[in-house]
Chains A and B, each alone.
Chain A
Amino acid sequence: MQILSKSKLEEALNQLGKNAELFVPLARGEESGFYPWSSYQAGSDRLMLDALNVLLPPKSVVFPQTERMYSFTSTGPAVEIKETFESPQPRIIFGLRACDAAAIACFDDVFLTMGFIDSFYQARRDNTTIVAHACYEPGANCFCEAMGVDPTEPVNADVIIRDAGEVYIWESKSSKGEKLTAALGSLLENKEAAAPGLKPFQQQANYEGVAEKLKGMFEDPIWEQLAATCQTCGICTYVCPSCYCFDIQVKSWGEEGYRFRCYDSCMYSEYTQMAGGHNPRGNERERFRNRFLHKLQFFSERYGKPLCTGCGRCIVACPAGINIVEIINNIKEADTSVRA
């Protein structure tokens, strides 16, 4: 098997960064997320490959929080598109976990299947190579396995690396992965190494049958109770690796302008504000319910899997201590027969 010695990691990252924009998990001051390796400052930044994960997910590499779409000039009724900003330059996400790789697979479903192709997403995605980092030690808030994600066999990976102590086992999984293998050349060695065994999960979510059960729970009083303390900020949606809702807006001055899209959050009332003044999800209970129905029921109906990959970030960052594992289990255990 091929291995990458940890002592050669920086050299390998430098090598990979030559032909592509390379994103790695970093702790940077107060921040924790995926940042370009080219911006890495030894001393103040800390590479987080030995940690469980980082707070801000890698979704921004394929789906930035703010993305310019096109610029235009408008003179009278005539509008001329000047430039479209599709972004096909090569990128590599290095060291993302199975939960985050699975979340990008959800994006692929949304932006590239069912007869809809989002060309902006496609330009980024087709030119992004994923080096996934197999996970053997679930953290305090991890529950990926319960959501159908195998932490040791990340989906969507072009390369899987496995931490075997002094070395990473390097497994190429696709032609994109082969290119990285070739680029690393002699930095990779042929040696035997053993990946560790998967440690037990501390969080126990029981998602089995939940999508089906939710079909009959739209008006269930449980939502009132679950949403009671939600403050409808957007933290959960922005730290979520699989939340993909966006808004398209415009900035213009005089005859010039550009359109861009930016993350939106179903937690905001403005998200569903309609032109005539009506808001179908005017209160926090309705918005909260929609978020969890989308994650646990609607997405599963459309794409055959939940829109939650069990990374635990929302549990970590929620100001009100709302815990999606408890929500899944509460729904699972709810006795709906008495409420009809």
Chain B
Amino acid sequence: MQSGQNRTDDTEKDEILAAAEAGIDIDMLEANLKRSPIERIKRHQIAFNTAEKLRKAKRL
């Protein structure tokens, strides 16, 4: 039988593992968590603008 601490560790591991197994980049997520909310908003804006430029790009 697991101790309470082990159960908590397993739950944490499961949730991060589940995200990783679904293809989520955990390193990117954890790097983002080190940023402030406004930094996250600004980086989202940059990503959005880049995606929009690529979406609108014309084939040569």
| A joins B in a complex | no
Q: Which residues of B contact A (CB under 8 A)?
A: none
Q: Which residues of A contact B (CB under 8 A)?
A: none
